[in-house]
Chain A
């Protein structure tokens, strides 16, 4: 199994509070991704990173920010959590980003009440 650890695995938070999810990898892969999974929508890309301090937006980036200060860590921050951000969040890593598979973490279930 690819060395990807997401923390926390479960979190309940209140509307309006900031939340940070962490993804840690031990594979030294260049590319890291944050996806969210929702019924009827599959997996949608929030943000991704193609190197330290290099990030770009995905299709559902509003309300989210990311940071990557080290190769192994990719943080996803919900600036002010809303109920629409209740979801399961998956981190993924990829060696080259193209023509290759991405490996996923176990997921973080976030509930915003």
Chain B
């Protein structure tokens, strides 16, 4: 049962354009969401997060949008740069009950920025 889903395994975007990565979740208890970026042969690195009390969080070129009613979040990268080429993982956690202090990850989307 995949509680966090990234339905696009790969995405190619021209340099300078907007990259939009999508993520859907099924567990209504999730209330904190994160995006991680992963380069080959390295561990994932934290990119940006959003709490369920917000619908948008912005950090430089990266913006995460949360639509709780649709159980959907997206990561926007503007403008896209060659160094953004990586695998992006969406993750979620549920705060409200003990035993849920862990992240559930999606399957990842490989983003390729075309120069």
Chain A interface residues (CB < 8 Å from chain B): 4, 31, 33, 35, 40-45, 48, 50, 56, 58, 90, 92, 94, 96-99, 101-107
Contact = CB atoms under 8 A, between A and B. Distances in A.
Given A42-B107, A99-B51, A101-B34, A31 B45 contact: no
Contacts, number: 63
Contacts of A43: 44, 89, 91, 105, 108
Interface stretch (B13-21, B54-62, B65-73, B95-103): B95-103
Would you call the interface of chain B mostly helix, strand, loop, or mixed?
loop
Contacts of B44: 43, 90, 104
A109 to B, nearest CB: 9
Contact of A99 (B6, B32, B106): B32
Nearest to B52: A99
Contacts of A50: 101
A4 B46 CA distance: 14
B85 interface: no
A56 B99 CA distance: 8
B93 interface: yes
Contact of A103 (B42, B46, B49): B46
Interface in B26-64: 31-32, 34, 36, 41-46, 49, 51
A101 B34 CA distance: 7
Given A40-B107, A90-B43, A101 B49 contact: yes
